[in-house]
Structure 1
Amino acid sequence: MILSTKRNFISILSVFILFVTCLSFSNAFAFQELQNDFKQYKGKIVEKNSNKEMVFATISLEGTNISTVSNTEGEFLLKVPLSIKEGIVSFSFLGHTTKKIPLNELDKKNNKIELEISITKLAEVNINAPKDAEALIREVLSKRGENYFNDPTLMTAFYRETIKKRRRNVSLSEAVVNIHKSSYASSKKDAVQLYKARKSTDYSKLDTVALKLQGGPFNTLYIDIMKYPEYIFKEGSVDQYSFSFDRSTLINDRQIYVIDFKQLKSIREPLYEGKLYIDVENKTLTSAVYKLNITNRGLASRLFVRKKPAKVDVWPTEVAYRVDYRNKNGKWYYGYSNVLLEFKVDWDDKLFNSVYSMTAEMAITDWKKNDEGINLKAKEKIKKSIILSDEAIGFSDPDFWGEYNIIEPEKSIESAIRKIQRQLKRGKNIQGAAAR
């Protein structure tokens, strides 16, 4: 009955549950009303020549800790407190020149930001590149206590998880969370507090299968490789990969080494392959994009399936991860991450199998040093086994998010929410008429 995960390298990421019957919703949280003491700016980020949408581009207000990212359609929403009258908004994307625009020159709506592909003198970068890619990775991992935040930090983050059956949205859950992040030099785990949450789910599209993601924000938080290297490069596992230099690039106008990595052919256990982006000047990891090796369907399936109905077979078809870091005063910190899991559910008594995709993403939208040594009480911390869709209360409050920066929802998600809301409202009206 339950799909979950038990993996050697990523023991908490992408934990999934499959219930044959629908679960009831929880109304466990009440939220305070917030006044509109902020301005918001909307727009779209595209590549200048091709007009292609820039997905997961970073938008930040310089001189502050306020930031967000664009959605899968390149759209963004940035909220700025009224107390900030002026400033520079920075728009950046991998391999493109960063664009900076004064805050007072942005419109409240319909901003179109065009980013140009960066022209890098690759030869100059590559001449000075270390010859041993694996040695560079070991150096980067060994310096995480020096190059990343070495103070406890209080972070505000926006978290979203979605479930699709083929191309149709069937579930969306969102939350604002407070992260008590410990120093990168410390082995202490980060703690998370759920501040606000909402959801919308249409179980009728799930073929009587209610699919839920267990782990919530921890699914994305633990992709922070520099804080949790053990989940991908645990001690002794670096030598189970091959590393090689790819062509260099730019991120936020900084020269970046690109290193390809993949597991050795002699390793049978499913590991990872992808790209690591290393800052040339500081030898720091700025981004990572990688995926799980799922060529062995049986082994990959056992990483995720804990319990399931006897007449169903479940296996992943794609498991992908991404993490991005940001720089503040010469120190780097976790800024954004996402997880994608696609898999098939094959029932013995059905002619066609079902294809599902589950995504989880989290963006740090504000942060400050924890100078006062504030700690969460045990009852305030969410558990790593949390199912966010059971804790959220719905999409009924139009002012739900108040001043908090979020990732703009895709049009397909917005349409799905409106449709589900209409169905729920229609159902309530029918019930009310029957009662009368």
Structure 2
Amino acid sequence: MRVFKSSLIISFSLFFLTANAQNSDQFSGKIVDETNQSMPYVSLKIGSSISSMTNPDGDFSLRIPVGTTGQITVSCIGYQTLYIPIQQLSNPVTIKMKSAVSQLQEVKISALNGEAIIRKAVHNITQNYPVTAFESTGFYREIAKIDENYLSFAEASLQILNPGYQHNKEKDRIIINKERNLKRVGDRAVDNPFHAAVKGVPYVVLANDLLKNPGSIFGERYISKYNYTISGYTAVDGEEAYIIKFDQKTGINEALYQGSVIVIKKSFAIASIEISYSDKGRRFAKSDIAFLQRPLLMLLGYHFQKTNEMLSLRYTMNGDKWYPYFYKIATTHQVEAKRQKIAGELLVSAELFIRPVPAVKSDFSKKNIMPENYSFQQGVERYTDQYWKEFDYIKPEHTLKDLVDKQAAGKDIN
């Protein structure tokens, strides 16, 4: 069983708008570490129903209803959790986080080793994660490009019904709140020389939740194919956690993985997973992007060589259970077509940031569900933040924003 059901690309950033605090419910800023370096994918929460996270450049934006009181909880693995009263913050604001590693107590290991910790974590999944269905709302972005040339750029606001972390084959369900597929990114036209789309990518992202679908990482047939080591300790929301590093064993002729897993010491809950291809098996990698497998493309002279797969998963505590809040998957291929004068790196990636909804409120009947082979089709000419209006959206990272800023000012494309 492969980790990825197909391959993709996305560039995920964060909820970000600029406005005066007294006139708007959008709160924005930047999060940095002790050396003033930007911190990507930091979680921000107000209670259980308002949340966001920073983009790859450390920027964030949080939709806060006027009159909301309380505090913002800012958390990141390996750093002290901050609790900041809303009334004490300006807009925008820079938040500095401090490392929590020095605060960790010494952890003594007895019979546990890296593999034993992973096995215990897998065994405890139904104890640490919700086993009944829950709804989430989130923002999604998928991107495909060859080098700096965009083949596709799609975004969507989604409602998601997760069946829970129990041992069954029920799949996630998705409702589209709003979507768009860009025809231009800044001053560049979106041009797909393959004239084909990767379909059903949000479902692919959700299917790569390794706690529901262990695949070739945590599956029983695969655990013994890796070497696991305890490389250190860190903190997650004040709790001590193991840092488990893993890599495929020498002599296994498969394209398997290397990476790290953060496991809470007390409960053995998995807080994050980061994987990519192992150098030991990279040469066995095969393309698995659906449209790249079409024989017609090979007849036309296209050649694809997969170079990497990447997966990032993060979970957060809500009440007494852990819930997913961030998914990112990406694949890279070297692509060449002499006749079409194409040669470069094909990147396909997708990111999804979600937050749980207190109760299942949406109508997830069959007539409302996004088809599994769906590709986003609501075309718009240019990127503009105003498109989302009442919906939360994800701010593009700086490299994309530079392109957008080149377009004529004042255009509002709906």
Q: TM-score scaled by structure 1? A: 0.80
Provide, for residues 285-330 of structure 1, a one-character-per-residue CA deviation record: whole Å limited to 9, x for no partner: 0000001347666642333341224312112222211000010122
Q: Does 1:46 align with 2:36?
A: no
Counterpart residue type for residue 346 of structure 1: E
Secondary structure of the residue aligned to 2:198 is: strand
1:103 is aligned to 86
Q: Does 1:342 align with 2:329?
A: no
Q: Does 1:10 align with 2:3?
A: yes
Shift of 1:351: 7.3
Provide, for residues 401-431 of structure 1, a one-character-per-residue CA deviation record: whole Å limited to 9, x for no partner: 2343333222332343455789x99xxxxxx
2:156 is aligned to 175
Unaligned 5+ segments in structure 2 are 10-22
Whether the 8 Å contact between 2:8 and 2:349 is mirrored in structure 1 is no
Query: Structure 1 residues 137 and 368 mapped into 2: Cα distance closer, same or farther (>3 Å)?
Result: same
Percent of pairs with identical residues: 22
**Partners of 1:396 and 1:356 in 2: how far apart?**
22
Q: Does 1:362 align with 2:352?
A: yes
1:92 is aligned to 75
Whether the 8 Å contact between 2:253 and 2:284 is mirrored in structure 1 is no
Q: Does 1:281 align with 2:274?
A: no
Query: Structure 1 residues 410 and 13 mapped into 2: Cα distance closer, same or farther (>3 Å)?
Result: same
**Partners of 2:219 and 2:379 in 1: how far apart?**
34
**Partners of 2:239 and 2:263 in 1: how far apart?**
10
Counterpart residue type for residue 227 of structure 1: K
1:119 is aligned to 101
1:408 is aligned to 395
2:183 is aligned to 201
Query: Structure 1 residues 130 and 303 mapped into 2: Cα distance closer, same or farther (>3 Å)?
Result: farther
**Partners of 1:141 and 1:85 in 2: how far apart?**
39
Shift of 1:365: 3.3
Provide, for residues 205-233 of structure 1, a one-character-per-residue CA deviation record: whole Å limited to 9, x for no partner: 65844574333212322232212223643
Match of 1:161 among 126, 142, 152: 142
Aligned-residue Cα RMSD (Å) equals 3.0
Question: May I ask how many residue pairs the two structures share in their alignment?
Answer: 390
Comparing 163-172 and 353-362, the one that deviates more? 163-172
Q: TM-score scaled by structure 2? A: 0.84
**Partners of 2:60 and 2:150 in 1: how far apart?**
20
Secondary structure of the residue aligned to 2:41 is: coil
Match of 1:56 among 32, 37, 41: 41
Match of 2:218 among 227, 230, 233: 233
Provide, for residues 334-391 of structure 1, a one-character-per-residue CA deviation record: whole Å limited to 9, x for no partner: 1111112222211234777222322211011342233x7x662223222332222x34
Whether the 8 Å contact between 2:158 and 2:176 is mirrored in structure 1 is yes
Q: Does 1:216 align with 2:201?
A: yes
Secondary structure of the residue aligned to 2:127 is: helix
Whether the 8 Å contact between 2:146 and 2:346 is mirrored in structure 1 is yes
Query: Structure 1 residues 329 and 398 mapped into 2: Cα distance closer, same or farther (>3 Å)?
Result: closer
